[in-house]
Amino acid sequence: ELLKEPPKIQRLDQSVVNRIAAGEVIQRPVSAVKELVENSLDAQSTSINVVVKDGGLKLIQVSDDGHGIRYEDLPILCERHTTSKLCEFEDLKSIKSMGFRGEALASMTYVGHVTVTTITKGQLHGYRVSYRDGVMEHEPKPCAAVKGTQIMVENLFYNMIARRKTLQNSADDYSKIVDLLSRFAIHHTNVSFSCRKHGAARADVHSVATSSRLDSIRSVYGVSVALNLMKVEASENDPSSAVFEMDGLISDLNYVAKKITMVLFINDRLVDCTALKRAIEIVYAATLPKASKPFIYMSIVLPPEHVDVNVHPTKREVSLLNQEAIIEKIQSTVESKLRNSNDTRTFQEQT
């Protein structure tokens, strides 16, 4: 049989490359919301409000009261790899901001229509400007604005028919967004958050800046959760095994739920750590007779060089240096806390 001619290799058009890359950074509406809220947090906002229409496909709007964006920076704001947060690769070691890739806003302009309204300190008016495929569509227009920045993403995935179709059929993106905002709200207690559907009078997440984490959990997850939590703390300062500090709130024996809720922040980044989650689930199942699934809020602080933040742009799963030692220590802390409270209850029931 005759060999066929090989197909010719061609260089992809830059716009095709960008759209493919963008679809990876922004996988669903909730990924856009996460990037926008993290930008607002990086901009030192104390109030962040989210409005969503049609599960985020029609509209995602994030408004903050942060430091705003300079007029001179607007022309390159949505280009790929433009950022105010990183200069050199070495900076990654000690980076405190959530962002650093300068990819999120650019990505949104390749798969949706982005409009930015922003005002900086001391200015009499703000500017509004729209972007497509990384570039400004027109000169920024002066406009009235309140402190901070508002970013609107409309018609997400308008140019990715298949993605849009699959998302339209799954109605759960709004609940993913509510879940995300709930997590941010109970960690960043000095920031007030809200999240609502477009046109709805009531917000589905509403937190006010407060000094108490328990108060924010009460307003976001409800009284029945907040009533049944215990404080846990653990730390280790042995460079040969692990260095970390953990503090958290975990559910007690009276808490009843079918599903585990695990809200985990490592160095203030919202992450997943399946190994740690499993380890805690096992302790609950073993200690509590009527194995209710726990509610766990945990914040772990590690030396920045012990966590690699430069993983895939959307990857939330992390692995840590000395992970086993850290998990073991946390597991035993949770276990003794649960045991103590269990013993106390048995004791009270007997007397």
- Provide the binding-site residues for ligand ADP, judged by CB under 6 A: 35, 39-40, 43, 64, 66-69, 77, 83-85, 99-106, 149
Task: Give the shortest CB-178-to-ligand ADP separation in angstroms.
Answer: 20
And the tokens for 291?
């194995």
Task: Give the shortest CB-200-to-ligand ADP separation in angstroms.
Answer: 23
Contact window for Mg ion (CB under 5 A) among 2-10, 37-45, 128-136, 340-348: 37-45
Q: What is the enclosing helix (H) or strand (E) of 153? A: strand 148-154
Assess contact for 286 and 333: CB atoms under 8 A: no
Residue of closest CB approach to Mg ion: 99
Contact window for Mg ion (CB under 5 A) among 12-20, 36-44, 216-224, 325-333: 36-44
Instruction: Please choose which of Mg ion, ligand ADP, none residue 64 contacts, taking the beta carbon within 5 to 8 angstroms, the exact cut-off set by kind.
Output: ligand ADP
Among 329, 316, 350, 334, which residue's Cα sits nearest to residue 35?
316
Can you tell me the distance from the alpha carbon of 250 to that of 299, in angstroms, rounded to the nearest whole number?
A: 12
Binding mask 93-122 for Mg ion (x = CB under 5 A): ------x----x------------------
Can you tell me the distance from the alpha carbon of 236 to that of 245, in angstroms, rounded to the nearest whole number?
A: 7
**CB of 175 or CB of 310, closer to ligand ADP:** 310
Task: Give the shortest CB-83-to-Mg ion separation in angstroms.
Answer: 8
Q: What is the enclosing helix (H) or strand (E) of 60? A: strand 59-64
Can you tell me the distance from the alpha carbon of 342 to that of 253, in angstroms, rounded to the nearest whole number?
A: 7
- Give the angle subtended at the CA of 287 by the CAs of 217 and 179, to the nearest 5°: 25
**CB of 79 or CB of 272, closer to ligand ADP:** 79
What's the DSSP call for residue 321?
T
Assess contact for 58 and 155: CB atoms under 8 A: yes
Task: Give the shortest CB-184-to-Mg ion separation in angstroms.
Answer: 14
And the tokens for 274?
């399946």
Task: Give the shortest CB-313-to-ligand ADP separation in angstroms.
Answer: 9
What's the DSSP call for residue 299?
E
**CB of 39 or CB of 228, closer to Mg ion:** 39
And the tokens for 252?
């007690």
**CB of 68 or CB of 126, closer to ligand ADP:** 68
Task: Give the shortest CB-245-to-Mg ion separation in angstroms.
Answer: 26
Helix axes 29-42, 173-187, angle to 10 degrees: 20
Binding mask 138-177 for Mg ion (x = CB under 5 A): ----------------------------------------
Residue of closest CB approach to ligand ADP: 99
Q: What is the enclosing helix (H) or strand (E) of 115? A: strand 113-119
Residues lying near Mg ion in the complex (CB under 5 A) = 39, 99, 104
